[in-house]
Amino acid sequence: MKLIDLLDEGLVKVGVEAEDKEEVFAEMIELLVRAGRIEDRDRALNAILAREKMATTGIGSGVAVPHGKEHSIKSLAAALAISKKGIEYDATDSEPVYLVFLVLAEANNPGPHVQCLGEIARLLQIPGLNERLRNAKAAREALDIIRAEE
């Protein structure tokens, strides 16, 4: 699975305005609704919030990977938000988050969900990728960075 196959310019927001994780979740889910990737905004948001209650998805090094599964989701959906000022997220390292990869998946089909999370983890191991994405000035630039690494 390639992350680039799930993303397009309408699903990448550079310069996200959110100041905390609840705001960034709402902004990212709105991207998915506008793109026609999800239909039920509230159920999608509740799936993300329910997962976040179990443990923070702020994994450290300025990155968060909120994810959830929901019956209303018809196929795997993802979005990327890049913050220039940092988001208060309650990350494991207590530092602000600058890159947020949001993933929503079908409730009864865990395979693609796990594959997508694995691909995000793999990409984040690439030296310098985090910084290059954080410095992207536009959605197309962020997509080009991901495409080049995949």
Three-state secondary-structure class, residue 13: strand
Three-state secondary-structure class, residue 112: helix
Distance CA 94, CA 85 (A): 15
Q: Could you tell me which of 61, 49, 43 has the C-alpha nearest to residue 20?
A: 49
Q: Residue 71 phi/psi, 5° resolution?
A: -65, -25
Q: Is 113 a catalytic residue?
A: no
- Name the catalytic one among 38, 67, 89, 146: 67
Catalytic residues: 67
